[in-house]
A and B are shown apart, each in its own frame.
Chain A
Amino acid sequence: MEATAVKNHYQSLIKLFAEFYKYPDEAFMEEFKNGTIEDEINTMSSIYSSAFDEEINLQHFIDQEHNLQKQFMKAFSGISKPFTPPVESLYKQWSADTASAKPLASKKGYYMGDSALHMKHLLHHYQLDIPENFTMTPDHLVIELEFYAFLIEEDMDAAMTFRDEHLNWISDFEAALQQLNDIPFYQEVTKRLSQLLMVNPTDGFKREE
């Protein structure tokens, strides 16, 4: 497979994983039910032998009582506690500006940290609009994954820098999810995402080249 195709596959995978952290609407639920999503993941990820230790089978993490929407709300929305939103700021020290941001600077668990500001800065530079619902959480995983996919297309070096600096909280996020009950789907998906992010897409290109 050509390097471009490999890159495209990786990019598509990242975008597909971004879908998981958006509210699962009816269309998404339907495509999940009929296996489209798993097929796509497994097909695309097969080119990266190191990405996943086994094929993805997400269906058995869902049942009637714990359907996708319920798991999503439970894990991320705050309508039940504990919950753990997929927002980078919450998993990192709030700010390096310890001089002026005195009470919060060294704390974790707050929105609008430095990572949020930097995400705004990056998106602005690349002339990408922040969706209205994410104005105050531009460092939401959905935005970060879509932006990562965008950078892979635009500038691979920038993409790698971004991955290393902005997607390095996923293991903490994954650990936080493990503390929650009744959200096996998102625990599994995040485990897989974590594995996927370990892969350096350029390694794949080199192998193919």
Chain B
Amino acid sequence: MAKLKRRSFLKAGAISAAAAAIPFKLSMKDYQKAIADEPTKKIPTTCNGCASMCGIYAYIKNDRLVRVEGHPVHAKSRGRLCARGHGMAADIYGKGRVTSPMKKVAEGEFEPISWDQAFDEIGEKLNGVIDQHGGNSVMWLEHGVRGLRYAEQLLDRIGSSNYVTHYSTCFSAKTNAWQQMVGGMLNGDHENSKYMIFEGRNFAGGIIPHGMNQITKAKENGAKIVVIDPKYSEIAKIADDWIPIRPGTDLALRLAMAHVLINENLYDKSYVKKYVDGFEEYWHENKDKTPEWAEEITGIAASKIREISRELAANAPKAFIEPGWHGLHAHYINSTQTAQMGVILNALLGNFYREGGLMPSAGVDFGEVLLRDVVEVEKGPRADGAGIEGQRMTVETGRGIAQTVPDMIENDKVKALFVYHFNPLRTAPDPEYQKKMKNAELVVSIPVDWNETSVYAADYILPESYYLERTEVPTQVAGHTSHLYPQISIRQKVAEPMHDTLPLLDIMRGITHAMGHTGMYGLTVEDEIDQMLEPVGVSRSDLLEKGTVELRSNKIEPIFPTDMNGNPNIGTHSGKIQFSGEIYRIDGKKGIPTWVAPKVSPDPSKDDEFRLIHGKQPYHSHHVTSNNPKLVRITEKYNGTAMWMNKKRADRLGIKDGETVTITSDLASKSVPVKVTELVHPECVWISSAYGGFSDRLETAYNLGVNYNDFIKAEVEPFSGAVMSQEVVVKVRKGADV
């Protein structure tokens, strides 16, 4: 009898059995009893459930992660963690991850390859693209900005200016306006505030655990909370007043509120005189934007506009309109002007750099990392036109335009594309259009799971190690919440990689070395950490042990920054808060905000037309978490995939709660269950941003609900480059699509 040659995997080892920590237990049950008493290690690191990077403790028992909890010091968690943080941690042992480098062998088909093969092939192809089309034809597209430190080393070496983040699909109208007008982002000092308006800002949806603690504490101390949103969002549940505004008209409301403050002399005149540039010009432009004018546009009674404006003024400077994030700031053609009005309203209240108003993030000066083998090559123009006169001059070059990358490929501006920690095929408009990314000569996706971009556009998938399996450089705790002292935190490896994955640094080293740049990425992450921490006065070992360290230097004081001569100096054109965007003016646009109507609006005479709006749920980070079984159980519990429709409008269409409806735009027609409710504005329908997975490799997310990006075209808001994701009118009808 012929015999098969066995490929025995188990081999006798050199280790001694005596080294075992647990006495030998043949029986599984005996073993389980024995290991139950083993000690648990508590290792600090950071969460990845959203972009907040809350500090966490990972509990490791018997060399595996058993649970996580919020870090008690970290200013965003303070001992607490949201559902996403718990859910994402469990995915370390889930089945949804890409387990090794993959190479596309046919449309939608991949084969596993070794890292060496992946590096060699990608390096060779990249060199070919650069030889033929120049380094500027290579683009790095990512969520931002975690990959920047490694991406820019490659881009500098090959001479590419094309670093693009997802921000244009998320909030770039805000950062664009605020950077010019205030010199950066300030955060609500929620805990010390007496009056907070959350307009298009669902702080309890895009939840930051300690941020919510601060808000609820302020409420306990008597603060009033007003929520202005077409949908009764999670933050509305703790509000004193919910004002359902007609979507797309927040700019009109803000103009009218400013009108009340100025016209009724309620604004902080001395503050404005001292710290504001462009007040007169603003007022000259907007004297006619009365509450009555806004009432017709917004659907909010003029009396209510006056009421909240007066209340804001009465509580100033411990009052603010929350600076906001995704909501409003990537949604409409007037998003940039709406963001500008966020600055102007708050400035009229005199609340910048004031306790209970808006405060900056406490800063840390990390040391510079001295890279080895640095060769900078002259770069060509950006493919997205950001910052270029005559193109998208007013768009921030540090963020760029993510949604039109397929056009850049079509127009031969981009030939090779890296997509890191970002899934534009699902989270940018028009997935069929986004799929055209695959037409680049080389597409490399660096994800952790089988996201849509990897499956439908990538030539190579290079899986990054899970966030609990890798160490990264320290970061400053900043954004969205206010805290007096600067904090630094670090993400560190708490468990061995489950699969054949690598951290980004190792991936970049492998690719560039295969390209022939063998000196690049010569530092280890530990080298980088040491150099960054050198001037901070915290050692690597100390930071790794504590996870988050609060420094007692650079305390934030409620003082408007000034130069040595005592003049305002906040990094803007004038050093003051500017009521005009200088770059807009230079580009021939209007620098002062005034009314811009939404680009499209539903026809009120048509019963089936609605504006499609979307928002976050506290148990998902857009689509990133929707393949998590634990979090999807929450979705199921709360009927999270349902489209919200106002009851009066539903009645007119004969639609009942729980039925299936079909949403149709110029691009798509999809069916979803409907939640019929009074808690959404009659002129819009609302869906969560979390769903609509179409990668069949994501078992839990696949075909779960619909996504707003299915219905919208890839457009570009002219000021900030944002995506205008709510400039869409859909038709809704009863019944499923057939």
A interface, CB within 8 angstroms of B = 15-16, 18-19, 22, 25, 27-28, 31, 36-37, 39-40, 43, 73, 77-83, 85, 89-90, 94-97, 99-104, 107, 109-115, 117-118, 121-131, 133-136, 142-143, 146-147, 150, 158, 161-162, 165-166
Contact = CB atoms under 8 A, between A and B. Distances in A.
Contacts of A114: 28, 31-32, 35
Contacts of A81: 450, 696-699, 702
Contact of A112 (B6, B10, B28, B498): B498
For the complex of A and B, the 3 pairs showing the least CB-CB separation, nearest first, are A129-B13, A101-B66, A110-B93
A134 B1 CA distance: 32
B90 A97 contact: no
Interface residues of B, number: 67
Contacts of A122: 26
A125 B36 contact: no
Q: Is the interface of B mostly helix, strand, loop or mixed?
A: loop
B4 A36 contact: yes
Nearest to B24: A125
Given A114-B32, A118-B31, A143 B9 contact: yes
Contacts of A97: 32, 35-36, 61, 66
B109 A158 contact: no
B10 A146 contact: yes
Nearest to A90: B95
Contacts, number: 179
A146 B8 contact: yes
A80 B699 CA distance: 10
Contact of B4 (A40, A89, A103, A166): A40
B110 A102 contact: no
A36 B94 CA distance: 37
Interface string B46-79: 0000000000000101111011000000000000
B531 to A, nearest CB: 32
A127 B696 contact: no
Given A78-B450, A124-B17, A165-B27, A142 B66 contact: no
B17 A112 contact: no
A152 to B, nearest CB: 13
29 contacts: A18-B9, A27-B5, A28-B4, A36-B4, A77-B112, A78-B97, A78-B99, A78-B450, A79-B111, A81-B696, A81-B698, A101-B61, A101-B67, A102-B67, A109-B629, A110-B95, A112-B498, A114-B28, A118-B28, A121-B24, A127-B14, A128-B12, A129-B14, A133-B500, A134-B9, A136-B497, A142-B9, A158-B26, A165-B27
B552 interface: no
A52 to B, nearest CB: 17
B724 interface: no
B9 A103 contact: no
A143 B40 contact: no
B9 A16 contact: no
Given A104-B90, A113-B93, 9 more contacts: A40-B1, A94-B93, A102-B67, A110-B93, A111-B93, A112-B64, A114-B28, A121-B31, A166-B28
B112 A31 contact: no
A89 B8 CA distance: 22
Contacts of A96: 29, 32, 36
A18 B7 CA distance: 9
Contacts of B62: 117
A127 B93 contact: no
Contacts of B40: 100
Interface string B637-680: 00000000000000000000000000000000000000000000
Nearest to A23: B112
B6 A16 contact: yes
Nearest to A89: B93
B6 to A, nearest CB: 6
A80 B13 CA distance: 35
B15 interface: yes
Contacts of A112: 64, 93, 498
